[in-house]
Amino acid sequence: MRHRNRLIGFTYDDAAGVAYFSMYLPGTAGRDRKRATVNAATYDEAVRLWSEFRSRAAEGLRRPSPEAPTFREFITDYFPAIAPNLTEKTARDYRYAIDRHLLPQLGALRLDEITSGVLNRLGARLKGAGYAGATVNNYMNLAALLLGYAVELDVIADLPLKKKLKKQKANKPCLELNADERARFLAAFDDEVGFRRFIAETMPKAQPAQAKDGRFGSRRAYGAGMRNDSHAANAYFVRFQASKDLFVVALETGIRSGDLRGLAGRHVEFEEGWIRFVQRKTGREVVIPISDDCRIALQHALQGREVSPDDPIFVTDCGLPYSESTMQRHFKIAKRLAGIARRFRIHDLRHSFGCDLATAGLPLRFIGKVMGHANSATTDRYARPDQVVLERVREALNRER
């Protein structure tokens, strides 16, 4: 481990990729010090963040008044300093929730006015507006987290949340695929006729335009999209079809989409029959058995490739890991070709896996372990009667006594 400390109040840890900042705020005669810890991939990036840190302090980030800033002022001044400690996706998700839900409701309130009662009322309003219980809880937790940052950054002295937040009841995952939908969803990746029809229906059509100067003819066409009988459409279908392996493994393992796209050679143990990796969301290691269909999909995805421990399992025709946008796009096409018109998201592939295990009669503690749940309450959502379970109950009741 090597530390670089060429500047007063600045330390950079090369091995960890972490920078530590410390400086006394201007005008405090050395009585008030501000500190920060940020992730930085390189020393140069750490120096840049250090410069921004000092500039913000010099511009008077510390309020001269002892009065707490409003929530809107805090987000404007401090979220840029919080975001580097988060993953890019997490920072983006937080920013969306802040702008869409928290600022409209809490923006005018001073931080010390955002009590447990205020957040509980916010949760009740969101629930009344039709948001799912889990979503409402996430927004309330984010507000509490931001208040925690305010305390950590010495913006306010104490956390104003003195009472327990009232959590909304999480909705049960009722969006999983049934057997027929699952078959149609996977078959969509081989439906070239349906795919070409999709291209014809969704691609922009050429629009005629009248030429301003009549000397050169009257009309021309512009704005046309991909033709469904073109070579480009054929190449697009091949790419779409190749992504089927990714979605088969998603259904057979319940791995979250981000972890699935990051699955590497070292995570798959074909001989022992396991997939073993650490989840990004929870930091918990999970071990998932490789089913027959999963094995076939994995081997097909690796066909013709020598994979090192760090090489991704699933790659596009360019040899790059699937991006989130590409996976979403192929998912939406397959959903449309399968005729699934109801609400159905990529994450519901994970719910489908969990519900399949519950339907098969596996104990909830086993399901939670395989899915890497942090607490049993998450797994309990899968413990609900479906048609198969109800039929078993009927059979049990009809037995001769």
β-sheet bridge partners, residue 21: 10, 36
- Does residue 385 have a pLDDT over 80? no
Q: How far is the C-alpha of 156 from the C-alpha of 148, rounded, in Å?
A: 9
Tell me, what amino acid is at 346? I
Res 30: pLDDT: 55
Res 383: pLDDT: 67
Q: How far is the C-alpha of 347 from the C-alpha of 383, rounded, in Å?
A: 18
Res 386: pLDDT: 57
Tokens of 47: 């120096």
> What is the per-residue pLDDT across 224-260, written as a single tens digit (0 to 9) for each?
678 888 999 999 999 999 999 999 999 999 999 999 9
Q: How far is the C-alpha of 176 from the C-alpha of 182, rounded, in Å?
A: 9
Tokens of 16: 């960890």
E strand segments, 284-344: 285-289
Measure the N-to-C terminal CA separation of the chain; round to a whole number of Å: 72
Q: What is the mean pLDDT of residues 76-97?
A: 88
Of the listed ranges 88-92, 199-203, 247-251, 386-390, the one predicted with least confidence: 386-390
The size of the chain, in residues, is: 401
Q: What is the mean pLDDT of residues 76-102?
A: 89
Res 58: pLDDT: 62
- Residues ≥6 apart with Cβ < 8 Å to 132: 170, 171
The answer to whether 118 and 163 have CB atoms below 8 angstroms apart is no
The answer to whether 252 and 353 have CB atoms below 8 angstroms apart is yes
Name the residue with tokens 């507000």.
Answer: 143
Characterize 144-174 residue by residue with b for buried, 16 or more Cβ atoms within 10 angstroms of its Cβ, and e for exposed: bebbeebeebebbeebbbeeebeebebeebe
Q: How far is the C-alpha of 307 from the C-alpha of 323, rounded, in Å?
A: 19
Name the residue with tokens 């090192």.
Answer: 308
Tokens of 224: 């046309």
Whole-number average pLDDT of the chain: 84
The answer to whether 346 and 331 have CB atoms below 8 angstroms apart is yes
Helices 324-337 + 231-242 axis angle, to 10: 100
- Does residue 389 have a pLDDT over 70? no
Res 263: pLDDT: 96
Q: Tell me how far CA of residue 41 lies from CA of 4, 38, 63, 81, in angstroms.
A: 14, 10, 31, 16
> What is the per-residue pLDDT across 260-270, written as a single tens digit (0 to 9) for each?
999 999 999 99
**Residue (of 104, 107, 97, 100) closest to 73 by Cα position:** 107
Domains and CATH numbers, the chain: 3-152 (1.10.150), 179-206+220-393 (1.10.443.10)
The answer to whether 194 and 336 have CB atoms below 8 angstroms apart is no
Q: How confident is the model at residue 62 (pLDDT cuts 50, 70, 90)?
A: very low
Mapping DSSP to helix (H, G, I), strand (E, B) and coil, where does residue 253 land?
Answer: helix
Tokens of 145: 């987290």
Q: What is the mean pLDDT of residues 315-338?
A: 95
The answer to whether 286 and 279 have CB atoms below 8 angstroms apart is yes
Res 60: pLDDT: 52
Res 61: pLDDT: 47
E strand segments, 154-217: 207-210
Q: What is the mean pLDDT of residues 148-173?
A: 85
**Residue (of 196, 194, 174) closest to 185 by Cα position:** 194
> What is the per-residue pLDDT across 345-356, written as a single tens digit (0 to 9) for each?
999 999 999 888
Res 311: pLDDT: 94
Please state the φ and ψ torsions of residue 382, each to the nearest 5 degrees. -85, -10
Res 240: pLDDT: 96
